[in-house]
Structure 1
């Protein structure tokens, strides 16, 4: 069994989709942007209910968390069974063991890309995406048992708090993990996306790189979403691609919630340059 999975990992609303759409454009190397609803072809999800049903070979109750967890090793073995050198897999799961099942097992993993975002901005986007108030979102992303409940589209995703999630992916690892900050991707897209391309072992072509960055710009993505919608948009949110800026928390997140977030996540925020 080949260790071919390269995890595209992040806490929700941290830039994972942006990175995958960039990769779709870089890999396609076309003269027109890849449609955003086709971007999933470069990185499958690890929690797609349909995949678990296929592996189960029979009825699957997605609310039975133990059953879906027991199926997970078979789902991941199915991904690597194509014998490819690299299988890009998107995940919002923390790198932890859930009820005795390792969610990100070493035996199928080649490497990982971990994208993190200032949690003060992430929590605002999280609130919009999941139809929460900012206060509810602050409480949710600070809770050690935070998980996305199962539905007909996805099985349960185990995230934990933002700090725990970041620690799980950026700590000691048996394989290479490329850590990218969302804010650096905004400020220095050439440097950051070049690192991503090289991490995956692809040849770096500057003209191709610049075109893929242009084709995955927030202006391009939001215009595509207006015209054709986006399959990853939640029913609770008006749109998936909002402003895509940093430091929105300074005007949009109430001071008392800023204080709560900093209290809950101070150590990790400081480590990654979000607090001095």
Structure 2
């Protein structure tokens, strides 16, 4: 099996869409009714839902599973990371702002802090793990073709990908219209982010200007 791992709101759905549209690979999720049961979005992303027998029945391919959890085993993984500042704001919005953004930044919720998630997966040193950056995929998804082809041993079948606006128009929650996370960022929140996540952000090359 293959994990598609990320902290929430870091580009996992985009990566799954690339898997399906460009490589012809379906993906599942450890979370039942992921994508909110939106069947149109499921078809666009190649999502396979859990069946009544408690299984995900993949076609003739390697099982590929999305997760936001900490590592459960040493199976191969693709870890997709996003600037933690943007990911924090996006998760806060996904939660409908039902908890303070500061709680998301410090990791006082079920997924923990952005930095601790990256540390746990340790994509630099974990065997059989490919690290991808959301920003690269969002800028030009074709930049993922070479590393994915090498890692998966699967050739690209199509270079076409549904646009973000197209997917957001069919959902609006799992895939949102593009927004500016900086509108919610303050000097105080930046200081708090650096206190809890600064070391990993620097290691990944992320700054407030990214």
Cα distance in 1, alignment partners of residues 197 and 189 from structure 2:
12
Cα distance in 2, alignment partners of residues 275 and 195 from structure 1:
25
Quote the residue 1:86 is aligned against: 62
TM-score (norm 1): 0.60
1:8 pairs with 2:4: yes
1:126 pairs with 2:122: no
1:36 pairs with 2:32: no
Offset from partner CA, 1:114-154 (integer Å, 9 cap, x none)? 11111111111111111226x723323423x631xxxxxxx
Q: Which runs of 5+ in 1 are unaligned?
A: 56-77, 96-103, 148-158, 231-237
Q: Which runs of 5+ in 2 are unaligned?
A: 26-38
- 1:192 counterpart SS class: helix
Whose helix proportion is higher, 1 or 2?
1
Give 1:186 shift: 2.1
Quote the residue 2:144 is aligned against: 192
- Number of matched residues? 194
Give 1:197 shift: 3.8
1:172 pairs with 2:117: no
Pairwise CA RMSD? 3.1
Give 1:24 shift: 1.6
Quote the residue 1:140 is aligned against: 104
Residue 21 of structure 2 contacts residue 45 of structure 2 at CA under 8 Å; is this kept in 1?
A: no
* 1:54-133 alignment runs, 5 A limit: 54=53, 86-95=62-71, 104-106=72-74, 109=75, 111-132=76-97
Residue 2 of structure 2 contacts residue 78 of structure 2 at CA under 8 Å; is this kept in 1?
A: yes
Cα distance in 1, alignment partners of residues 58 and 19 from structure 2:
20
TM-score (norm 2): 0.77
**Which stretches of structure 1, 4 residues or longer, exceed 3 Å deviation after superposition?**
39-44, 81-85
